[in-house]
Amino acid sequence: MSTSTSARARRDSGAPATAATTVTPATTPRRERVFSGIKPSGTPTLGNYLGAIRHWVAEQDIYDNIYCVVDLHAITVPQDPAELRANTRQLAALLLACGIDPERSALFIQSHMPEHSELAWILNCVTPTGWLNRMTQFKAKAGADREAASAGLYAYPVLMAADILAYQTDAVPVGDDQRQHVELTRDIANAFNYRFGATFVEPRALIREVGARIMSLDDPAKKMSKSESEGSYISLLDPPDAIRKKIARATTDSQRTIVFDESRPGIYNLLTIYELLSGQSREAIEAEFASKGYKEFKAALGELVVTALTPVQARYAEITENPGQLDALLARGAARVRPLAQATLRTAKARVGLI
By CB atoms closer than 10 A (0-12, 13-18, 19+), residue 25 is exposed
> Minimum distance from CB of 3 to ligand AQP (Å)?
20
Q: Is 222 a catalytic residue?
A: no
Kindly state the helix (H) or strand (E) to which residue 291 belongs, with its residue range.
Answer: none
Q: Is 226 a catalytic residue?
A: yes
**Which residues have C-beta within 8 Å of that of residue 6, sequence separation ≥ 6?**
193, 198
Q: Is 349 a catalytic residue?
A: no
Of residues 38 and 189, the one with the C-beta less far from ligand AQP? 38
Binding to ligand AQP in span 222-241, by CB under 6 A: 223-227
d(CA 16, CA 263): 54
By CB atoms closer than 10 A (0-12, 13-18, 19+), residue 312 is middle
Of residues 4 and 45, the one with the C-beta less far from ligand AQP? 45
Contact predicate 189/161, CB 8 Å: yes
Q: Which of 32, 59, 83, 177 touches ligand AQP (CB under 6 A)?
A: 177
| 52 in contact with ligand AQP (CB under 6 A) | yes
Name 64's bridge partners: 33
d(CA 249, CA 3): 46
Contact predicate 225/47, CB 8 Å: yes
Window contacting ligand AQP (CB under 6 A); options: 169-177, 238-246, 316-324, 327-335 = 169-177
| 266 in contact with ligand AQP (CB under 6 A) | no
| 41 in contact with ligand AQP (CB under 6 A) | yes
Residue 203 phi, psi (nearest 5): -80, 160
Q: Which of 10, 71, 107, 175 touches ligand AQP (CB under 6 A)?
A: 175
Among residues 226, 292, 295, 349, the one annotated as catalytic is 226
Q: Which of 47, 203, 266, 333 touches ligand AQP (CB under 6 A)?
A: 47
Q: Which residues are tagged catalytic?
A: 141, 223, 226
Binding site for ligand AQP (CB under 6 A): 37-39, 41, 45, 47-48, 51-52, 174-175, 177-178, 213-214, 223-227
